[in-house]
Amino acid sequence: MSNKRPLIGVTPWYDYDKQLTFIKKGYCEGVNKAGGLGVLLPMCTQPELMENMVQSCDGFLISGGPDVDPKYFNEMNLPFNQDISPYRDTLEIFITRRAIELNKPLFGICRGIQIMNVAMGGSLYQDIHSQINDRKLIKHSQAAPRWYPTHKINVKKDSILSKLLKATSIEVNSFHHQAIKDTAPGFEISSLSEDGIIESIEYKNHKFALGVQWHPELMWEANSVFLSLFEGLVQSCK
């Protein structure tokens, strides 16, 4: 019996000043704890190398990070848009589209859910507090310990997310100023925050393509229920 673990490619962070590729704690560790082998992908934008990554990995985790360049959803870069990462946009949009096309498991966290949506034709609010004026928003960039849940989400019954969490309501942490505006074709919304912000999406008729707006990689050590998201990714690769 083989004990080979599924290989999960984790997309990297990149410091342009220091030319440094890195990842924060919780991503690879969550994959490993869930029974996979999390590997940090190299930062590159050459199509041949990106395709080799897609073919070599069993699944992918699109990590959190800076804003998505609004040119990918046909908008100008507005004043409240913050740091963007051209290398990451190129790499992660490529991986998302190919993973969807090849039915390879895909899990996006924070920026990751936004990249997944944009890659498949959706759009974002460049800043929710500047652009959403029809309702009162809760605080989405918390001033609390990073593992601590600060708001509730309501989860769609019978969604992949509800089956993993075994709940239709749960409290999560929050560190974002952008969010999904128009959902891309093929995606369904599977959870909303109390103020109506999209907190997760799932791609229909796919082995496993889940994006969440919060940061389970910061929560799973304090609350093991969030490890189930990483377990869902790993199990779908087997």
Mind telling me the catalytic residues? 110, 215, 217
Cα dihedral across residues 127, 131, 132, 137: positive or negative:
positive
Nearest partner of 85 among 108, 73, 68, judged by Cα: 68
d(CA 162, CA 178): 24
* Residue at token pair 């919304």: 189
d(CA 70, CA 79): 12
Amino acid at 100: I
First to last CA, the chain: 13
> Taking a C-beta distance cutoff of 8 angstroms, is the pair 91, 11 a contact?
yes
Residue 188 forms beta bridges with which residues? 202
What is the CB neighbour count within 10 angstroms for residue 97?
14
